[in-house]
Structure 1
Amino acid sequence: MTEGELQTYSLVELAVERLRREILSGRSDPGERLVEEQLTRRLGISRAPLREAMRLLAQQGLVEHIPRRGARVATLSDDDVRELYEVRDVLERHAVSSMPAAPDLTALRAALDAMREATEAGDRLELANAHRRFHTEVVALGGNRQLADLYGSVLVRIQLYMAVNMRREAEAARAAEGVLRHERLFAAVERGDVQGIAAALNDHGARTYLT
């Protein structure tokens, strides 16, 4: 890779990371138009790396390209979201059933601590990041890397809706309730209580995020 290619690739990565964080934090709503001229100015990049970044975000299910209308933040119907949550639930249950007797909870504990800190600080972006990380770490405890990768691809498609919900929680001063739900889940994992884990997951399942 030449120096010029490396620079362009770095700009693509930068654009992907910034736009992905904005979408998954709830700063950009589903269906919101992504205007190329505005984005090139705001990100300080040319159209070529921006278009490549948009292509990669579309592969992740976060951006949609509409013929003759440009790009927008991806939208999902209520049925789409319910189906994705059904898949998520199946993957989580399988991972939970495969957990070892004494799993290493270091990463899971760190994600929970990050959720507490973000809630106290009112940092919606970091709260969204910690929320994703927590669920990813729960599934990773099952030890199936392929399943964890599949889970991640499903989670990222519904994360923008989760982010909208977390924004509403924050606006209603109820963000601490999300921490309590995850504390219950962590406690069940720590006890090795499979039924308790399933109950905790169900307690903040799809219905929490659907309007």
Structure 2
Amino acid sequence: MSDGELETYSLVELAVDRLRRDILSGRTDPGERLVEEQLTRRLGISRAPLREAMRLLAEQGLVEHIPRRGARVATLSDSDVRELYEVRDVLERHAVSTMPPAPDLARLRVALDTIRKATEADDRLELANAHRRFHAEVVALSGNRQLTGLYESILVRIQLYMAVNMRREAETAAPADGVVRHERLFAAIESDDHSEILAVLGAHGARTYLS
């Protein structure tokens, strides 16, 4: 890869990271138009890396390209959300059923500690990201990388939905509730009892948010 290609790739990464944060934090609303001229000025990049970044975000399900109307933040219907949660549940149950005995919980423990720190800092975006990482680490315990990758893509789209509700969630849920739920799930996994893990997952919040 030449220096010019490397520089372009770095600009693409920058744009993906900035736009992804805007979308998943709720700073940009679902359906909001993503205007190239505005974004190139704000991000300080040309159209080529921006368009590549938008393509990658579209692959992640965060951006939609509308014929003759340009790009916009992806939208999710009620049925989309319901189906995503159904797929999430199926993948989680399969992962639990294939977990080896006494798995290494080091990465899961780190993810739980990140949830605690994000809660203390009252960083809602980092907390949502930490929840996603924790659940991805749960599924990763199955040892199935393809399953884990598919599961993570589902979680990102659910987080897009959750971003719309971040303010309402902040008003209705105590910050420590999420920590307690994930500590309970960690303890179930540590017990190495698959039926207990599934029971805790089933009671893991109302599943209205990525929690």
Task: Give the TM-score normalised by structure 1.
Answer: 0.92
Does the residue aligned with 2:64 lie in a helix, a strand or coil? strand
Does the residue aligned with 2:61 lie in a helix, a strand or coil? coil
Q: Summarize deviations over 1:3-24 as a string: whole Å, max 9, x none.
A: 2121111100111112112222
| CA distance in 2 between partners of 1:175 and 1:62 (Å) | 26
User: Which runs of no fewer than 5 residues in structure 1 stay unpaired?
Assistant: none
Matched, 1:15 2:36: no
Aligned match of 1:108: 108
What letter matches 2:71 in structure 1?
A: A
Identity across the alignment (%)? 82
Name which of structure 1's ranges 200-209 and 127-136 shifts more when overlaid on structure 2. Answer: 200-209
Name which of structure 1's ranges 54-63 and 195-204 shifts more when overlaid on structure 2. Answer: 195-204
| CA gap 1:171/1:197 in 2 versus in 1, 3 angstroms | same
Does the residue aligned with 1:71 lie in a helix, a strand or coil? strand
How much has 1:173 moved relative to structure 2?
A: 5.6
Whether the 8 Å contact between 1:85 and 1:206 is mirrored in structure 2 is: no
Q: Summarize deviations over 1:101-145 as a string: whole Å, max 9, x none.
A: 211111111111111111111111211211110010000001111
Aligned match of 2:193: 193
Aligned match of 2:125: 125
Task: Give the TM-score normalised by structure 2.
Answer: 0.92
How many residues are matched? 210
User: Which runs of no fewer than 5 residues in structure 2 stay unpaired?
Assistant: none
Whether the 8 Å contact between 2:62 and 2:157 is mirrored in structure 1 is: yes
**Pairwise CA RMSD:** 1.8
| CA gap 1:150/1:177 in 2 versus in 1, 3 angstroms | same
Whether the 8 Å contact between 2:85 and 2:207 is mirrored in structure 1 is: no
| CA gap 1:206/1:28 in 2 versus in 1, 3 angstroms | farther
| CA gap 1:182/1:164 in 2 versus in 1, 3 angstroms | farther
| CA distance in 2 between partners of 1:151 and 1:65 (Å) | 24
What letter matches 1:52 in structure 2?
A: E
